[in-house]
Amino acid sequence: MATYQALLTLTILLLLNVPLVTPCNFPAIFNFGDSNSDTGGLSAAFGAAPPPNGETFFRRPVGRYSDGRLVIDFIANSLGLPYLNAYLDSIGTNFSHGANFATAGSTIRRENRTLFQSGYSPFSLDVQTWQFNQFISRSQYVYEKGGIYREILPTQDIFSKALYTFDIGQNDLTSGYFSNLTTMEVIGYMPDLMQRFTNLVKVIYDLGARNFWIHNTGPIGCLPYVLVRVPTVATKKDQIGCGKVFNEVAQLFNAKLKETVGQLRKELPSATLIYVDVYSVKYEMFKNPGKHGFENPLVSCCGHGGKYNYDVNAGCGATIRVNNTDILLGKSCPDPLKKVCWDGIHYTEAANRFIFEQIADGKFSDPPVPLNSACKSL
């Protein structure tokens, strides 16, 4: 009976001229980005993300700026792969199924200011690309030594078969505003961002990458840290309370990114480049929270004080010293599963799960290809 139904379904698909898509069986993932997909890079370089980060799933801080898993974790799990180790993490790492070059605070273009001056990572996308280049050559050299290295490093053929994921750009927009640039000035450097992104994708392509899964940026105007830190621009709200101007800038960035990915398809015909609209998925959680099991989406779960439970000087995990005792000030909320925003900047595990579940089947992708089939020539 099952065989008959499968044949019937196949016949219908052929008659309707629906393309048949089969899974790609990606052997590895190589990820590039910022805190939305950082699985421990910034923590390895500059100190661990403090508790209560990680409390929901891992039960302890594990380098993620969330109470649990990120979208990239759900992507890896869905493809039957382990969670990605950060390239910068030297302890207990296994890169046989890929590596994560993302770090919190990363940008497409260099900030040219230290982390302590700006809050932005020195590991911009070009640096992540250089790290990937080194990773290829050094991993293959060490792999040939044999022994344990053959268990924790990838084989040469993995690089052309792997999935290459990108989630970056949010910090390029916020850094302009936090540097007191006007909206027009932020818009003015978008062409430069796109050119840099184009050049770096081509570098990664030349290093062997063929399968690209590229997220656009989310509605930054719905995040407390932007609403609080740039109040003059945040005064103009949309119907759900998000900063309208910020989101318009994010949407413009996304439109240009979509055009850029389209142009890359023409220039790199051997590659598969999928543009993924995570903006729409994220905005839906803020617009219709109750429909998806969330509440008070503009209010942070972990933080301290104010309308949004966010204070730039006392973030998630912040402590104060009282009578020679450290008291946790930036506490977690009672039920993170009902919250969209974790710490005013990042998303909760529940929100990340929702995002993954919406994008995995391809309905928010251009072309509309499922995640597990993003290796076909289009």
Active-site hit among 34, 35, 97, 215: 35
What's the pLDDT score for residue 211?
Answer: 98
Sheet holding 365-366, edge to edge: 98-100, 29-33, 163-167, 211-215, 272-276, 365-366
pLDDT above 50 (res 12):
no
Whether 270 and 210 have beta carbons less than 8 Å apart is answered as: yes
pTM: 0.93
pLDDT above 90 (res 262):
yes
What's the CA gap between 61 and 241, in Å, rounded?
31
Residue 164: what residue type?
Y
Question: Is 35 one of the annotated active-site residues of the chain?
Answer: yes
CB atoms under 10 Å from CB of 90, counted, come to 9
What's the pLDDT score for residue 119?
Answer: 85
**Three-class DSSP category at 245:** helix
What's the CA gap between 201 and 216, in Å, rounded?
15
- What is the percentage of the chain residues whose pLDDT exceeds 90? 88
pLDDT above 90 (res 324):
no
Which residue intervals of the chain are DSSP H helices? Answer: 2-15, 41-46, 71-78, 115-118, 125-143, 149-152, 158-161, 170-178, 183-188, 190-206, 224-229, 231-234, 244-267, 278-287, 349-359
pLDDT above 60 (res 356):
yes
What's the CA gap between 294 and 272, in Å, rounded?
35
**Would you say how long the chain is, in residues?**
378
What's the pLDDT score for residue 8?
Answer: 54
Active-site hit among 43, 277, 343, 365: 343
CA angle 356, 358, 363 (to 5 degrees): 125
pLDDT above 90 (res 17):
no
**Three-class DSSP category at 166:** strand
What's the CA gap between 148 and 136, in Å, rounded?
18
pLDDT digits (tens, 9 = 90+) for 73-107: 999 999 999 999 999 999 999 999 999 999 999 99
Least Cα distance to 225 among 114, 121, 343, 142 occurs for 343
Using pLDDT thresholds of 50, 70 and 90, give the confidence band for residue 321: confident
> How much is the average pLDDT of 179-207?
98
What's the pLDDT score for residue 280?
Answer: 98
What's the pLDDT score for residue 4?
Answer: 52
pLDDT digits (tens, 9 = 90+) for 141-170: 999 999 999 999 999 999 999 999 999 999
Work out whether strand 319-322 and strand 325-328 pair parallel, antiparallel, or are unpaired: antiparallel
CB atoms under 10 Å from CB of 374, counted, come to 24
Average pLDDT, rounded, for the chain: 93
What's the pLDDT score for residue 18?
Answer: 43
Using pLDDT thresholds of 50, 70 and 90, give the confidence band for residue 378: very low
pLDDT above 80 (res 354):
yes
pLDDT above 60 (res 1):
no
What's the pLDDT score for residue 5?
Answer: 54
What's the pLDDT score for residue 11?
Answer: 53
Question: What residues contact residue 370 under an 8 Å CB cut-off, 6+ apart?
Answer: 21, 360, 361, 362
pLDDT digits (tens, 9 = 90+) for 23-36: 899 999 999 999 99
Q: At what angle do helices 170-178 and 244-267 cross, to 10 degrees?
A: 140
What's the pLDDT score for residue 10?
Answer: 45
> How much is the average pLDDT of 34-40?
98
CA angle 33, 38, 44 (to 5 degrees): 120
pLDDT digits (tens, 9 = 90+) for 227-256: 999 999 999 999 999 999 999 999 999 999
Least Cα distance to 126 among 154, 90, 101, 97 occurs for 101
